């Protein structure tokens, strides 16, 4: 590596470190990262390690790369530390980019900026670096490509059921139906449906939120000791449902998902406010798993887009504030 290349890598490392430092400061002072698109928010919510610590790790990486290049410029050494750091950084970015592409199927623009910088630095380091880095990055991507990351597979591996995502249950003496309501705390259409569900008298409702900020002002609720909002998002993802509210109806012949405020209220009014429910559904079928129907009479404007409403996903079980 020439002295000019070394200097460019040093300055680029400082610039990248500055970008990450600004992001770190944003998290510290504003409580959340600066997101260039919805992908950034989704990725942040899917990491077990808080975004603050991930950014600090990135800042330390570029600082070490800068110091290693300065040290290499002054001394001859058999151990090429900058080369090893760049390879390590590329492999880590390979994992992150592959996860975004194969698993969550959305990209974080901020992550792509950092990824592009690391790729450029590896290319700048020389032909030998490219010959080593390209196979390593390809191997990481290939490893993700041969694995099955479908939501259904992940749900089965976790051994969870819909009850694992239930925040609270509203029971009746002799319920005619067991229903699961998927909603978020900041969706106005969800709130309209919730106000209707307060007075139901013939159905057992399970409330399955896709976020953790829940306060249900509803009498006679039985709260779960813990619940998983991420599982509820996985269930919706399995059916390519990107809007809420959604009502799941368990029938002997399978499951029915009813979408939209008006459709849900219409169904509940006919099914849960009579002694003998008269339910007649003419479902529209989509390309979904066997035994599962999605009911949508016509386009219902009473829906909230999950990404737009910024409904966060939690990877771990949340403790209900009302659970004993």
Q: What is the DSSP string of 127-142?
A: HHHHHHHHHHHHHHHH
Q: Which residues of the chain form beta strands (DSSP E)?
A: 168-170, 177-183, 203-209, 221-223, 226-227, 243-244, 246-251, 254-259, 292-295, 304-305, 318-319
Q: Could you give the C-alpha distances from 162 to 28, 142, 178, 230, 255, in angstroms and in order? A: 35, 33, 12, 11, 12
Crossing angle (nearest 10°) for helices 3-30 and 51-74: 160
- Residues 191 and 260 grouped into a single domain: yes
pLDDT of residue 15: 95
pLDDT of residue 151: 56
- Using a 10 angstrom Cβ sphere, with 0-12 exposed, 13-18 middle and 19 or more buried, the burial of residue 111 is buried
- Residues 206 and 245 grouped into a single domain: yes
Beta-carbon contacts of 237 under 8 Å, excluding residues fewer than 6 positions away, are 151
pLDDT of residue 18: 95
> Where residue 32 sits, what CATH number does that domain have?
1.20.1440.130
- Residues 139 and 162 grouped into a single domain: no
288 assigned to some structural domain: yes
- Residues 125 and 254 grouped into a single domain: no
Where residue 227 falls (left for φ over 0; alpha for ψ -120 to 50; beta otherwise) is beta
- Residues 299 and 173 grouped into a single domain: yes
64 assigned to some structural domain: yes
Q: In which residue are the tokens 């409580």 written?
A: 31
pLDDT of residue 78: 61
Compute the distance between CA of residue 194 and CA of residue 258 in angstroms, rounded to an integer: 15
Mark which of 82, 110, 145 sits at the end of a domain. 145
Looking at residue 272, the DSSP 8-state letter turns out to be: S
107 assigned to some structural domain: yes
- Residues 128 and 187 grouped into a single domain: no
Q: Which domain holds residue 247?
A: 156-319
151 assigned to some structural domain: no
Crossing angle (nearest 10°) for helices 127-145 and 109-124: 140
From the first residue on, what is the mean pLDDT of each consecutive set of 10 residues in the chain (324 residues)?
84 94 92 77 74 93 93 67 93 91 81 94 93 94 82 59 84 78 88 83 86 74 83 76 86 78 88 58 39 46 57 44 49
Closest listed residue to residue 243, CA positions, set 288, 198, 284, 299: 299
Percent helix, strand and coil across the chain, each to the nearest 5? 50, 15, 35
pLDDT of residue 157: 52
Q: First-to-last CA distance in the chain?
A: 64
- Alpha helices per DSSP H over 125-274: 127-145, 151-158, 188-197, 229-238, 261-271
**Joined tokens for residue 78:** 């058999």
- Residues 184 and 309 grouped into a single domain: yes
pTM confidence score: 0.57
268 assigned to some structural domain: yes
């Amino acid at each position: 590596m020439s002295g000019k290349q070394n200097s460019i890598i040093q300055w680029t490392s400082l610039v990248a470190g500055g970008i990450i430092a600004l992001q770190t400061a944003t998290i510290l002072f504003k409580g959340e990262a600066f997101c260039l698109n919805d992908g950034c928010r989704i990725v942040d919510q899917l990491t077990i390690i808080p975004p603050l610590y991930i950014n600090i790790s990135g800042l330390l990486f570029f600082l070490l790369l800068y110091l290693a290049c300065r040290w290499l410029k002054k001394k001859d050494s058999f151990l090429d530390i900058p080369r090893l750091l760049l390879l390590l950084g590329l492999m880590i970015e390979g994992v992150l980019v592959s996860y975004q592409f194969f698993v969550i199927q959305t990209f974080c623009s901020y992550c792509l900026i950092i990824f592009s910088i690391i790729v450029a630095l590896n290319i700048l380091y020389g032909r030998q670096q490219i010959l080593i880095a390209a196979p390593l990055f390809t191997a990481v991507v290939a490893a993700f490509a041969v694995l099955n990351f479908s939501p259904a597979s992940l749900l089965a591996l976790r051994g969870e059921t819909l009850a694992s995502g239930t925040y609270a249950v509203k029971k009746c003496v002799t319920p005619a139906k067991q229903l699961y309501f998927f909603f978020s705390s900041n969706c106005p259409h969800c709130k309209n449906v919730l106000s209707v569900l307060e007075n139901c008298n013939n159905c057992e409702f399970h409330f399955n939120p896709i976020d953790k900020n829940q306060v249900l002002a509803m009498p006679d609720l039985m709260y779960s000791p813990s619940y998983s909002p991420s599982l509820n998002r996985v269930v919706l993802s399995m059916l390519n449902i990107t809007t809420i509210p959604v009502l799941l109806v368990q029938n002997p012949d399978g499951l029915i998902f009813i979408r939209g405020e008006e459709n849900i209220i219409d169904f509940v009014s006919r099914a849960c406010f009579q002694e003998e429910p008269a339910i007649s559904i003419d479902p529209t079928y989509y390309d979904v798993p066997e035994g599962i129907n999605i009911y949508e009479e016509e386009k219902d404007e009473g829906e909230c887009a999950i990404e737009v409403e910024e409904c966060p996903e939690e990877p771990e079980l949340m403790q209900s504030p009302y659970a004993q």
